[in-house]
């Protein structure tokens, strides 16, 4: 890695323009307008410039003047001549702004000399707890968990890059009455699994789980035996406890293989961790007067949630048999994260189907006064992963797809694509090269296909689409990066040596377009860390690749004369570094050749 000086984070163009507008508004219309949002955004059409403000239209009523007159007064006081060409009032009163080449050149030089590519650190570093992935022990990790894992990891990476203090928690489902059932069944069907650690693959465990459930539903004697096991487990009885631990270990090993393949770091803190804290949830809610006994169960009646008869819906905190619920554990976890982990910000990444669960848990916690005002809590929901044809994702034989197999398949297909291409190009590569490229492309494709969709919508899982070389796909992005690396190889240019303040000069339209796009990186990241939509970052990188390709097709780089060559090489280098950083924030690796 080259060592770049740590420059003070530069301000994104938008931020600088904003400051200029805020000052102009005060000078033009007085201090009452201090802090007014200047309503600046990217121009709707590049024809009109780069940015546009609608503030004159917004202020018309309040100031009792026609918008165009307001706009004229604002631009009269705008001191932005270092940044943009003279602002233009258009239509009913829009203010259009076009950035100056000299400003772009200056800003790009700053970006170029910054290890962080001009992306500021968070103004105040927060303690963030992000709860994601969270599969269930003795059950298969499914595509919903895969989505949570990919999205959660991406958000964590962005927050970490902004230098928040991030705790990545894996809230695995490692507790519940199902363990009584499973242990009771294994005791008779497969006792070795309860005493040796390598007796089972997770696949078998899942099958056994299904069989156990069948027995449980049919056989009263077995049901009783299961209940006994739950009691024994809760009482910490040694044999049962050990059996439970072994089951957890076996699942954990399987999960870990997937995390390793996906390069995901997580701290496991499963539901069982919060067990000792559950009785206090009940007694504290009781003390607060929120707990109501309803048919033997202890519940909190929810505001704004009604059942079919229109009556307030209860959230069961403790069942009539004394057992606790998923929600009870989440209440305990929430309190623990605030009190012990000192979280300022708690983020839950799960499928949209759990939106009500979280809204209910948050409501009870809020009514109990457990969420301090300065703590932010967010559920980040996502849609379903569908098979081609829009139904649930299944194997050809109709079984649920195992994640390990899904990932292996993506790698295998990436490998086949690669070999076909090598043959076409008459290239020979080592086995090591092929295996590495296939893994980076295959895994990258699965992640990128997920992240490039708006997370709130369902998406169709398609190997063909995600591995296509054209379009908004991982291979396309990786290829754009490779292309820039190819330039440095071909011209024997060491990009790292270029870091000593290259002089930029933007001449062609394609250069200006690329420059403006590069400078939007921090705006985009800022946005993703606010709305948690990683597809914005994907879109940004996709457009970056396109704009880079247009630039590269239209502007000679290696054959350009000095000083243009250095300037263009710097644009190449900035593109490559931005792609690499962006992809790494999506959890993707890059390749120098592919
Ligand atoms: N284990 C749960 C599931 O598979 C997800 C847990 C999400 N996190 C939480 N704190 N509830 O659906």
What is the 3-state secondary structure of 8-40? CCCCCHHHHHHHHHHHHHHHHHCHHHCCCCCCE
The reply to whether ligand 1 has any atom less than 6 angstroms from the CB of 149 is: no
Residue 169 and residue 149 in contact, taking contact as beta carbons nearer than 8 Å: no
What SS3 state is found at 293? strand
Residue 107 and residue 129 in contact, taking contact as beta carbons nearer than 8 Å: no
What radius of gyration do the chain's Cα atoms show? 29
What SS3 state is found at 503? coil
| Token pair belonging to 37 | 């949002």
What is the set of domains in the chain, with CATH numbers?
A: 13-99 (3.30.1360.70), 177-264 (no CATH)
Pairing, β 459-460 against β 292-294: unpaired
The reply to whether ligand 1 has any atom less than 6 angstroms from the CB of 298 is: no
Residue 478 and residue 566 in contact, taking contact as beta carbons nearer than 8 Å: no
The reply to whether ligand 1 has any atom less than 6 angstroms from the CB of 131 is: yes
The reply to whether ligand 1 has any atom less than 6 angstroms from the CB of 171 is: yes
Task: Report the nearest-CA residue for atom 8 of ligand 1.
Answer: 171
Which residue stretches of the chain have pLDDT < 70? Answer: 1-11, 202-203, 498-500
Pocket probe mutation, ligand 1, options 144, 350, 352, 403, max atoms within 8 Å of Cβ: 350
Q: How far is the CA of 361 from the centre of ligand 1 (A)?
A: 13
Q: How far is the CA of 172 from the centre of ligand 1 (A)?
A: 7
Give the phi and the psi of residue 289 in degrees, each rounded to 5: 75, 20
The reply to whether ligand 1 has any atom less than 6 angstroms from the CB of 350 is: yes
| Token pair belonging to 441 | 């492309």
Give the strands of the sheet with 127-131, arranged side by side.
267-268, 165-170, 127-131, 345-351, 376-382
Inter-helix orientation angle 474-490/564-585, to 10°: 150
Q: How far is the CA of 171 from the centre of ligand 1 (A)?
A: 6
pLDDT at 11: 61
| Atom number, ligand 1, closest to the C-alpha of residue 172 | 1
pLDDT at 1: 34
Give the strands of the sheet with 94-97, arranged side by side.
40-42, 51-53, 94-97, 88-90
What SS3 state is found at 102? helix
DSSP element (H, E) containing 423: helix 403-425
Q: Return mean pLDDT, the chain.
A: 92
Task: Evaluate the CA torsion angle 22, 376, 142, 353 in order and state its sign.
Answer: negative
pTM: 0.93
What SS3 state is found at 301? strand
What is the Cα–Cα distance from 10 to 522, expressed in whole angstroms? Answer: 9
**DSSP secondary structure of 257-281:** HHHHHHT---EE--GGGGGGGHHHH
Q: How far is the CA of 486 from the centre of ligand 1 (A)?
A: 44
Q: Kindly tell me the number of DSSP H helices and DSSP E strands found in the chain.
A: 20, 14
Task: Report the nearest-CA residue for atom 5 of ligand 1.
Answer: 134
The reply to whether ligand 1 has any atom less than 6 angstroms from the CB of 271 is: no
Q: How far is the CA of 350 from the centre of ligand 1 (A)?
A: 7
Produce one character per residue of 95-109: b if its CB has 16 or more CB atoms within 10 Å, e if not.
bbbbbbbebbbebbb
The reply to whether ligand 1 has any atom less than 6 angstroms from the CB of 348 is: yes
Task: Report the nearest-CA residue for atom 6 of ligand 1.
Answer: 134
**Can you tell me which residue has the tokens 């809204």?**
359
The torsion angle over the Cα atoms of residues 424, 443, 387 and 458, rounded to 10 degrees, is: -120
């Amino acid at each position: 890695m080259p060592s770049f000086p740590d420059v003070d984070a530069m301000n994104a163009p938008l931020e600088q323009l904003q400051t200029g507008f805020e000052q102009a508004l005060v000078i033009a219309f007085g201090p009452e307008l201090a802090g007014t949002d200047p309503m600046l955004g990217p121009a709707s059409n590049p024809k009109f410039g780069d940015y546009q403000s609608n503030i004159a239209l917004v202020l018309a009523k309040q100031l009792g003047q026609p918008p165009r007159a307001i706009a004229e007064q604002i631009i009269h006081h705008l001191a932005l001549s270092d940044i943009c060409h003279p602002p233009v009032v258009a239509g009913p009163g829009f203010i259009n702004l076009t950035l100056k080449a000299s400003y772009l050149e200056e800003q790009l030089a700053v970006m170029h000399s910054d290890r962080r590519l001009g992306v500021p650190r968070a103004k105040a570093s927060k303690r963030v707890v992000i709860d994601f992935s969270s599969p269930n022990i003795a059950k298969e990790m499914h595509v919903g968990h895969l989505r949570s894992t990919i999205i959660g990891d991406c958000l964590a990476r962005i927050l970490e890059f902004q230098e928040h203090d991030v705790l990545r928690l894996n809230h695995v489902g490692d507790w519940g009455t199902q363990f009584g059932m499973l242990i009771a069944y294994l005791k008779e069907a497969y006792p070795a699994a309860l005493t040796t650690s390598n007796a089972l693959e997770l696949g078998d465990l899942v099958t056994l789980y299904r069989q156990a459930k069948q027995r449980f539903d049919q056989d009263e004697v077995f049901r009783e035996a299961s209940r006994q096991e739950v009691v024994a487990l809760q009482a910490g009885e040694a044999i049962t406890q050990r059996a439970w631990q072994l089951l957890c270990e076996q699942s954990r090993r399987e999960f870990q293989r997937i995390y390793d393949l996906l390069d995901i770091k997580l701290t496991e803190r499963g539901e069982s961790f919060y067990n000792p804290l559950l009785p206090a949830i009940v007694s504290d809610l009781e003390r607060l007067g929120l707990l109501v006994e309803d048919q033997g169960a202890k519940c909190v009646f929810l505001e704004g949630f009604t059942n079919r008869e229109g009556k307030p819906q209860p959230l069961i905190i403790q069942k009539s048999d004394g057992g606790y619920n998923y929600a009870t554990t989440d209440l305990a976890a929430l309190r623990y994260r605030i009190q012990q982990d000192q979280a300022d910000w708690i983020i839950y990444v799960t499928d949209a189907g759990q939106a009500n669960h979280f809204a209910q848990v948050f409501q009870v916690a809020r009514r109990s006064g457990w969420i301090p005002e300065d703590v932010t809590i967010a559920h980040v929901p996502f849609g379903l992963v569908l098979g081609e044809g829009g139904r649930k994702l299944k194997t050809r034989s109709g079984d649920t797809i195992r994640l390990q197999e899904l990932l292996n398949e993506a790698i295998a297909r990436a490998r086949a694509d690669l070999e076909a291409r090598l043959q076409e190009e008459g290239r020979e590569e080592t086995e090591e090269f092929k295996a590495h490229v296939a893994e980076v492309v295959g895994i990258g494709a699965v992640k990128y296909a997920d992240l490039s969709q708006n997370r709130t919508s369902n998406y169709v899982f398609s190997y063909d689409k995600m591995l296509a070389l054209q379009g908004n796909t991982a291979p396309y992005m990786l290829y754009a990066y490779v292309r820039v690396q190819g330039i440095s190889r071909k011209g024997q240019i060491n990009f790292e040596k270029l870091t000593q303040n290259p002089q930029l000069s933007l001449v062609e339209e394609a250069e200006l377009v690329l420059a403006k796009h590069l400078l939007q990186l921090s705006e985009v990241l800022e946005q993703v860390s606010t709305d948690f939509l990683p597809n914005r970052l994907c879109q940004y990188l996709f457009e970056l690749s396109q704009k880079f390709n247009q630039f590269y097709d239209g502007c000679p780089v290696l054959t350009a004369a000095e000083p243009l060559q250095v300037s263009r090489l710097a644009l190449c280098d900035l593109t490559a570094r931005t792609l690499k950083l962006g992809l790494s924030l999506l959890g993707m690796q890059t390749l120098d050749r592919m």
